[in-house]
Structure 1
Amino acid sequence: MVKVKISEKRNPIPQKVTIEEKTTLTTWGAIKVNKSHFFPSSFQLKIDDKVIYIDPVGIENAEQADYILITHAHPDHFSLKDIKNLLKNETKMICSKGVSKKLGDVKDKVQVVRPNQQLQFEEFSIGTTFAYNTKSVFLWIKAHPKSKENVGYVITLKNGLKVYHTGDTDYISEMEQLSGIDVALVPIGGDNLTMNAEEAAKMVNIIRPKITIPMHYEIKNVEELNRFETLVNERTKIIKLN
């Protein structure tokens, strides 16, 4: 059984990236997955006064959510405890079908999505993307099979700025259809679970985001992080958080 908790190696100060005026991206830093200290896929995106969380796990002393987006049901992405701490009466939740089955008494707040959908809200729109493995963990078994219909998200602001959270995925052909991405949140951990550094760099070099933030990797794996940075085209700014 996977055990997830806050890492004692976490940066004690939440790290905030200003994307543009009144638009910020925040992470609370490392979590501990079994015995691994791990930079997760959990972020807060704040647009003016609207607060969006993507895969909130190990969030501390945070503002309550206007929107919560969950990519899939693995425990390093889905924490019912964190969700309940962030909920208010008006919170809207968007999640894949696997997550909806685990939400218990908060499932009435949920909109279930599949890949390749478009949702329109007053402040922004959300597109869901495919997120799945082409590599197998064992024989034909995949950690994130396409049949699960896990998702990534492209959040598009009124001014056209696009933030892409890939979810857990390998490099897949559907990524090549994305365009105009300004900020990409990209897993580099590999190990038959997600893209490794080379695959992630290939994806970034094709979709050409202005800013890329690597995620979903063991924080001790500095070599993987540095290799990713070396392989990415200089047109993209890499921001490394921890």
Structure 2
Amino acid sequence: MKIQFLGHACFLLDDGSCKALVDPFLTGNPLAAVSADAVEADMIFVTHGHGDHVGDAVDIARRTGAQICCSVDLAEAVFGPAGVPAVAGNLGGWIKTSFGRVKLTPAIHCSGVPGCLSCGFLFEMGGKKIYHAGDTALTCDMTLLAAEQVDVALLPIGDFYTMGPQDALRAVEMIRPALTIPMHFNTMPPIAQDGAAFAAASAAAGFPARVLAPGETLEL
């Protein structure tokens, strides 16, 4: 099972048979590790409707034939009008996939689409559980994830638009993952943060963390 960080909140999850791309903001992303026309995907997961998360999802889906997965409202507002079919679920529900299954988890964040809820994703893939929080504030719902025995938590630490490093550390203590990877920081001035300092604070609290450089791959 491989996790590749492509910049901002974009990750490519690869279990050897399926490539799952999350929040493909590549064009216009100064830290993007790959161009939108070079990335390959079998499925594309989008947490909400802001441009730095929808990103290049439509173009990549058209080029690769990848199936988009998102909330019902986001599918109807963004991907349906673009002529791109989507598997559309809702918060709390599991969706079966070729690699296993994925659950849409709550995220506290404006969505970019009126009436649409933001979400995160809990992936069961390659024998691992990977939680992509999406853009979110700290929420007590994260305590429920401790029972999932999450292998890797991908958490925003940028502050300003999402939770910052202190709240992200509190999230780690709630979720209790085997490993945390910070995301959604340093892409633009308002979300400048010291990822290494967050990782050190998490490790000091007893929870290993690792900062991935854009393009870097972690094998689980």
Equivalent pair of 1:202/1:232 in contact (CA under 8 Å): no
The gaps in structure 1 that reach 5 residues or longer are 1-22, 30-39, 134-141
Answering whether residue 5 of structure 2 is matched by residue 27 of structure 1, we say yes
Structure having the higher helix fraction is 2
TM-score (ref. length: structure 2): 0.79
Match of 1:225 among 187, 192, 195: 195
Equivalent pair of 2:111/2:117 in contact (CA under 8 Å): no
1:54-88 C-alpha deviation (Å, 9 max, x unpaired): 00111425343211100001011012x44323445
Q: Which has the higher contact order (CA 8 A, sep 6+)?
A: 2
Q: What residue is the counterpart of 1:139 in the other structure?
A: none
Q: Distance in 1 between matches of 2:46 and 2:184?
A: 15
Equivalent pair of 1:78/1:99 in contact (CA under 8 Å): no
Q: Distance in 2 between matches of 1:83 and 1:196?
A: 30
Q: What residue is the counterpart of 1:69 in the other structure?
A: 45
User: 1:90 Cα shift?
Assistant: 5.0
User: 1:144 Cα shift?
Assistant: 7.6
1:206-239 C-alpha deviation (Å, 9 max, x unpaired): 2121121111112577754244223314443222
TM-score (ref. length: structure 1): 0.72
Percent of residue pairs identical: 24
Q: Distance in 1 between matches of 2:186 and 2:156?
A: 11
**Counterpart residue identity of residue 168, structure 1:** D
Q: What residue is the counterpart of 1:184 in the other structure?
A: 153
Q: What residue is the counterpart of 1:111 in the other structure?
A: 87
**Counterpart residue identity of residue 106, structure 1:** G
Q: Distance in 2 between matches of 1:99 and 1:195?
A: 26
Q: Distance in 1 between matches of 2:203 and 2:112?
A: 28
Equivalent residue runs for 1:46-195 within 5 Å: 46-58=14-26, 59-60=34-35, 62-79=38-55, 81-87=56-62, 91-96=66-71, 97-98=73-74, 100-103=76-79, 104-107=81-84, 109-133=85-109, 148-157=116-125, 159=127, 161-178=128-145, 179-191=148-160, 193-195=161-163
Equivalent pair of 1:125/1:157 in contact (CA under 8 Å): yes
**Change in 2 beyond 3 A, CA 1:90/1:143:** closer
Q: Distance in 2 between matches of 1:87 and 1:49?
A: 20
SS of the residue corresponding to residue 171 of structure 1 reads coil
1:96-129 C-alpha deviation (Å, 9 max, x unpaired): 223541223333x212222111112242110110
**Change in 2 beyond 3 A, CA 1:232/1:112:** same
Q: Distance in 1 between matches of 2:54 and 2:18?
A: 21
SS of the residue corresponding to residue 177 of structure 1 reads helix
Q: Distance in 2 between matches of 1:195 and 1:182?
A: 21
User: 1:148 Cα shift?
Assistant: 3.1
Q: What residue is the counterpart of 2:30 in the other structure?
A: none
SS of the residue corresponding to residue 155 of structure 1 reads strand
Count of residue pairs brought into register by the alignment: 198
Equivalent pair of 1:64/1:86 in contact (CA under 8 Å): no
**Counterpart residue identity of residue 24, structure 1:** K
Q: Distance in 2 between matches of 1:222 and 1:196?
A: 10
Q: What residue is the counterpart of 1:208 in the other structure?
A: 176
Structure having the higher strand fraction is 1
SS of the residue corresponding to residue 218 of structure 1 reads coil
Q: Distance in 2 between matches of 1:170 and 1:197?
A: 11
| Larger Rg, first or second structure (1 or 2) | 1
Q: Distance in 2 between matches of 1:174 and 1:48?
A: 32
